[in-house]
């Protein structure tokens, strides 16, 4: 498979960067072709400008800052998002990538006079989220799992109609042992190696 890994964490040497490394190792061991968009290393600008909002229906050719990111989305069969869950959802950097890159002409079309978008990312058949949470799974359920809903209910519907999602999450990261963290890293690598 052609797999795009989108990584969002500001600190090299973090547990999330270890997850990124194990994701890439697993994908490479599985024979997958990979590309990495490291949003912080790229100095990606997450805020949607007034011009972008006003011109959100313009084709992506008019938005050179997102061209490479849009090309990667069009290229991949699978998308792997690697990030920590902060405030029950995606970090601002990753949310900004969604706001600025999943736009008309890239992720969807809105026909003139229409009121319903048409998905464009038919190439993406698999979305995997690899994340960590400071709180327990039950607390996340009570909070409504907003990050998971964004992936499953918003991103997925702009992909192939048969696209499947997978949620790999380590809960209670602030309190878990080194052995638990290592087990999750190993599980993540195995999952990426077997990605289909």
Q: How far apart are the C-alpha atoms of 26 and 190, rounded to whole Å? A: 6
pTM comes to: 0.95
Q: How far apart are the C-alpha atoms of 87 and 78, rounded to whole Å? A: 26
pLDDT of residue 113: 86
Can you read off the two tokens belonging to residue 109? 């079309």
pLDDT of residue 188: 98
The dihedral built from the CA positions of residue 7, 8, 11 and 13, taken in this order, carries a sign that is negative
pLDDT of residue 136: 81
Q: For the chain, which residues score pLDDT lower than 70? A: none
pLDDT of residue 47: 96
- Residue 175 burial by Cβ neighbours in a 10 Å radius (0-12, 13-18, 19+): exposed
pLDDT of residue 61: 87
pLDDT of residue 60: 86
What domains are there in the chain, each with its CATH number?
Answer: 2-193 (3.40.50.360)
pLDDT of residue 45: 97
The dihedral over CA atoms of 97, 14, 187, 172, expressed in degrees to the nearest 10, equals -90
Q: How far apart are the C-alpha atoms of 55 and 160, rounded to whole Å? A: 26
pLDDT of residue 52: 92
Can you read off the two tokens belonging to residue 175? 């309190």
Angle at 168 between CA 166 and CA 169, to 5 degrees: 140
Q: How far apart are the C-alpha atoms of 105 and 93, rounded to whole Å? A: 22
């Amino acid at each position: 498979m052609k797999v795009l890994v989108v990584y969002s964490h500001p600190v090299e040497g973090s547990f999330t960067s270890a997850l990124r490394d194990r994701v890439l190792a697993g994908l490479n061991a599985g024979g997958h072709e990979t590309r990495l968009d490291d949003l912080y290393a790229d100095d990606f600008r997450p805020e949607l400008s007034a011009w972008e909002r006003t011109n959100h229906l313009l084709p992506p050719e008019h938005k050179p800052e997102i061209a490479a990111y849009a090309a990667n989305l069009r290229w991949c069969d699978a998308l792997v998002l690697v990030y920590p869950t902060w405030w029950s959802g995606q970090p601002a950097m990753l949310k900004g990538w969604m706001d600025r890159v999943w736009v008309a002409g890239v992720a969807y079309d809105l026909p003139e006079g229409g009121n319903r978008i048409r998905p464009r990312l038919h190439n993406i058949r698999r979305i995997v989220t690899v994340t960590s949470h400071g709180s327990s799974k039950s607390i996340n359920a009570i909070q409504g799992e907003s990050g998971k809903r964004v992936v499953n209910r918003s991103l997925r519907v702009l992909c192939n109609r048969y696209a499947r999602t997978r949620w790999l999450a380590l809960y209670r990261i602030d309190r878990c042992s080194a052995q638990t963290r290592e087990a999750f890293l190993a599980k993540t690598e195995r999952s990426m190696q077997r990605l289909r």
